[in-house]
Amino acid sequence: MRFRKKHYAVPEMQKSHYVLLNMDDFTGDWSSYFASASLPYAVELGAGKGKFLAHKAKDDPSHNYIGVDIETNAMVFAKRNLEETGVDNALLLCHDISNIEGVFPKDFADTLYIFFPNPWPKKRHNKRRLTHPRQLIQYHSFLKDGANIYFKTDDTELYEDSLSYLPAMGFNLLKSSSNLKVEEDPTGIVTEYEQRWRDQGIAIKAIWAQKEKVAPEALRGRLEQFHLDEKAKREAYRQAHQNT
């Protein structure tokens, strides 16, 4: 997503209690950003302009919602969406998700949403995907055992690869669909990007998964194995093409 620089975005967000622009300013207590300190947490990665976050926080007062994104030009609209709803159970965090380990404490959230992230189709860029094993291992650091992940994409290759990334990294597949109907969607909200793809007749792919209990050292072993398997696949491909 490319935006022309909006010079008002950062100053506007600096004044809002809905936005934490920099982890250097973190109070040290996530509950201090919410009206109710006792609610469980749900995290949305790549919240964009915040349509999902604002609707969900309003519809579901049983959770405190945190939307993470790095693009301040989009987040300023998310901030306005939250202001419009007036919810007291949502926060926006400006942060690079590729470096999210340590941002939230262990056993922090019971729900994770990832909707329409960049598919990074080139092989050498796959590791930047938000569902790549290098990312999934970081999500283990703050998700409770049994936490649910809801993932939607328009991209077939990202969907198919995610169907192997998730179980490889300790997330049991509960359900998947290569053509999700709106009425079958347990998240209940059509996101901004989803609407664009649906309007163009593009099938929406979705995966629901649940975090298993896996020891950190076993997870590191799984990530290493994943990298070895990828290397072996590349080598087999290289050899096959060398001999033809």
Taking the least distance from each CB to ligand SAM, the nearer of 60 and 212 is 60
Sign of CA dihedral 111, 117, 121, 123: negative
Is position 23 an interface residue for ligand SAM (rule: CB under 6 A)? no
Sheet arrangement for strand 90-94: 19-20, 90-94, 64-69, 41-45, 109-115, 143-153, 205-211, 171-177
User: What span, in angstroms and rounded, lies between the C-alpha atoms of 69 and 111?
Assistant: 17
Q: Could you give the string, one character per residue 25-44, with x where binding to ligand SAM holds by CB under 6 A and - elsewhere?
A: --------------------
Taking the least distance from each CB to ligand SAM, the nearer of 146 and 186 is 186
Q: Could you tell me which stretch among 24-32, 66-74, 172-180, 181-189 binds ligand SAM (CB under 6 A)?
A: 66-74
> Is 111 in a helix, a strand, or coil?
strand
Is position 194 an interface residue for ligand SAM (rule: CB under 6 A)? yes
> Is 43 in a helix, a strand, or coil?
strand
User: What span, in angstroms and rounded, lies between the C-alpha atoms of 139 and 102?
Assistant: 10
Taking the least distance from each CB to ligand SAM, the nearer of 202 and 214 is 202
User: What span, in angstroms and rounded, lies between the C-alpha atoms of 224 and 221?
Assistant: 5
| CB 55 to ligand SAM: min, Å | 12
Taking the least distance from each CB to ligand SAM, the nearer of 74 and 163 is 74
User: What span, in angstroms and rounded, lies between the C-alpha atoms of 148 and 244?
Assistant: 45
- Contact with ligand SAM (CB under 6 A) among 30, 165, 171, 193: 193
Give the amino acid at 166. Answer: L
Q: Could you tell me which stretch among 67-75, 84-92, 205-213, 219-227 binds ligand SAM (CB under 6 A)?
A: 67-75
Length of the chain: 244
Tokens 């209690």 belong to 17
- Contact with ligand SAM (CB under 6 A) among 42, 54, 57, 74: 74
What is the footprint of ligand SAM within residues 92-121 (CB under 6 A)?
96-98, 115-118
The residue ranges that bind ligand SAM (CB under 6 A) are 1, 46-48, 68-71, 74, 96-98, 115-118, 191-194
